[in-house]
Chain A
């Protein structure tokens, strides 16, 4: 009996002695906490207003199977979002990202909408060493600061319409272009890249008009454009500016062979009605495109009741979710350094094609030229992903 007790004691001591050196799963947190702001109010709400629903829909899809598997904890962890309304305001966005980092203590930050907001908000990631994934932000200025904790899903703004200029060069129909540019960060960035690309495509740049974002009267610019008579009028602006320009362009019978508005979503199309017909713009994704596996986009759009033509940035957000999931799975931990390293070295096929980050942080996903034809969006270039043919020249307004 005594010897039995002795054996138990020896065994217990041995277990206690060996316990610390045995490999075991680290204490797992309750969830992967993702912080973000969405412009639910303010002028960018026209672009991303309901995207909290998109985030919730993705979390629901991922959490349905238990979450994302992280090797360090040897289990799946559910995804939990903490989201604030940044009111489309830089200072508010910056304030909330600081809060997400310090009060909510999130594991990873998803960027706000637009370059100016991302420029301001991304300092939170850098200050607190938290991976920051920018989504719809492509100003080169964001990536010229040498930030180590920042990657961005999409390609740089100056290349935003490079496929359009490839098409112009390949088709060789248009010979001249005039630019109308909204004086804000993203449209300016797109314009700077596009004016170079237009010249490289062999086009003559006839004029470039920079206008304030709240411009309402386009009579002076339209009068000039009618005198120049360019083949292409290229409007680099956000949606409200584009709508106001198009309304007055029709009122004044401006009739170039093509009008390109870089943002021409459903929010742009609906108030313009017929005036939006044949306008060319840029799309990340259009239903029917031969690009990536569309299942996740379709599922999330349905669940969140977000319509892709109305909110064309939704696919870029879906790609960002895929990037986040892939990086977490690759890192296998919520350790910030490991997660950031996994992000930087990531190379995956997303719903919008291949994603790989440049050394400075920006991504490789870019848009395709699309045209509004009978109220529908038709991708017109390149042939391998196109869903229809370009109408050029556009029928003139009577």
Chain B
């Protein structure tokens, strides 16, 4: 029984790591830009498909792809921001939010349909696995563990970037007070574009791991965005630590619910957690009150 519980905890934590990485990009673009990017899941999907191509065409290891997609998708995110988000301009806070939802939802549907039209293989998966190892009757997937380690390294790197570099500090300053950041001379537009690009790159990087573990399809984006939105709200908007811990909590909650209450109850636990957190602590576990 104890071994089963440890097995479930290990599985939940490994799954939660993927949730955390994917959710962080969404969190950072919302926290800094007040833009709710509903096309987030589509960038994750595109990262998955690109990684699949790299694996099949060049035999590229998914861990290498996870690094290489970052500059590619940062550029894509920058372009997306400049073409679709920037024209929304200096709209009031709530209008910008609504406009961003509409624009990114439209973009999301367009990306999904175009991909489905051109992508010959509707279900995509990578035949990549590593031998698991066993500790005291608990089987640990080496691949999932490596992915979790990679996510931890990436999260630590981002934390250093946000705390030690000018751009990182600028991002944090905008998150804390947009007007104040403008007053002290932070180039809001440039930092916003880069932050959006970073969020998109993190989604794509999560997509690389996603297709390594699961199947990817051109239509998977929107349901994933909804799930990651739950993680973001759970952890607290704009909080790196909150996103990762929110992901881990959700992963664990899903695993334990599926085992003890039945697998059919597992998907709804995300929304139960979300409602509970919204009632008890509306700013999320690690969010700050505004």
B 115-140 binary contact with A (CB < 8 Å = 1; else 0): 01100011111110101101000010
Q: Which of B70-78, B177-185, B255-263 contacts its partner?
A: B255-263
* Most A Cβ at <10 Å: residue of B12, B113, B121: B121
Task: Tell me the total A-B contact number using a CB cutoff of 8 A.
Answer: 119
A253 and B215 contacting across the interface, CB-CB below 8 Å: no
Residue of B nearest to A50 (CB): B120
CB of A50 to closest CB in B, whole Å: 8
A239 contacts the other chain (Cβ, under 8 Å)? yes
Residue from B4, B121, B255, B263 in contact with A212 in the complex, judged by beta carbons closer than 8 Å: B263
Given A41-B117, A219-B255, are A212 and B129 neighbors across the interface (CB < 8 Å)? Answer: no
Given A212-B267, A216-B214, A247-B214, are A221 and B258 neighbors across the interface (CB < 8 Å)? Answer: yes
Q: Which of A12-20, A265-273, A285-293 contacts its partner?
A: A265-273
Question: Among residues 227 to 278 in chain B, which have CB atoms less than 8 Å away from a CB atom of chain A?
Answer: 251, 254-256, 258-259, 262-264, 266-267
A123 contacts the other chain (Cβ, under 8 Å)? no
Residue of A nearest to B257 (CB): A220
Given A41-B113, A214-B267, A219-B255, are A271 and B126 neighbors across the interface (CB < 8 Å)? Answer: yes
Please report the C-alpha to C-alpha distance between residue A273 and residue B259 in the assembled complex, in whole angstroms.
29
Residue of B nearest to A271 (CB): B125
Chain A residues with CB under 8 A of B254: 217
Residue of A nearest to B5 (CB): A223
Residue from B125, B144, B255 in contact with A220 in the complex, judged by beta carbons closer than 8 Å: B255
Please report the C-alpha to C-alpha distance between residue A59 and residue B142 in the assembled complex, in whole angstroms.
52
Interface residue range, chain A = 35 or more
B 86-118 binary contact with A (CB < 8 Å = 1; else 0): 000000000000000000000000000100110
B141 contacts the other chain (Cβ, under 8 Å)? yes
B4 and A223 contacting across the interface, CB-CB below 8 Å: yes
A49 contacts the other chain (Cβ, under 8 Å)? yes
Majority secondary structure, A binding face: helix
Q: Which of B148-156, B167-175, B217-225 contacts its partner?
A: B217-225
Chain A residues with CB under 8 A of B217: 43, 46, 240
Chain B residues with CB under 8 A of A240: 123, 215, 217
B263 and A250 contacting across the interface, CB-CB below 8 Å: no
Question: Among residues 216 to 260 in chain A, which have CB atoms less than 8 Å away from a CB atom of chain B?
Answer: 216-217, 219-221, 223-224, 227, 239-240, 243-244, 247-248, 250-253
Majority secondary structure, B binding face: helix
Please report the C-alpha to C-alpha distance between residue A215 and residue B254 in the assembled complex, in whole angstroms.
10
A247 and B267 contacting across the interface, CB-CB below 8 Å: no
B residues contacting A by CB (< 8 A) are: 4, 7-8, 10-12, 15, 113, 116-117, 121-127, 129, 131-132, 134, 139, 141, 143-144, 213-215, 217-219, 223, 251, 254-256, 258-259, 262-264, 266-267
Taking A219-B10, A252-B132, A398-B131 as known contacts, 20 extra A-B pairs with beta carbons closer than 8 A to each other, sorted by chain A number, are A41-B113, A43-B217, A210-B263, A211-B263, A212-B263, A214-B223, A217-B12, A217-B254, A217-B255, A217-B258, A219-B12, A223-B11, A223-B259, A239-B123, A239-B215, A240-B215, A251-B129, A253-B132, A270-B125, A271-B127
Please list 23 pairs of residues, one from A and one from B, whose beta carbons are closer than 8 Å in the complex, sorted by A's number: A41-B116, A41-B117, A45-B116, A49-B122, A211-B266, A216-B15, A217-B255, A219-B8, A219-B10, A219-B15, A219-B258, A220-B8, A220-B256, A220-B258, A220-B263, A221-B258, A223-B7, A240-B215, A250-B129, A252-B132, A253-B132, A271-B125, A274-B127
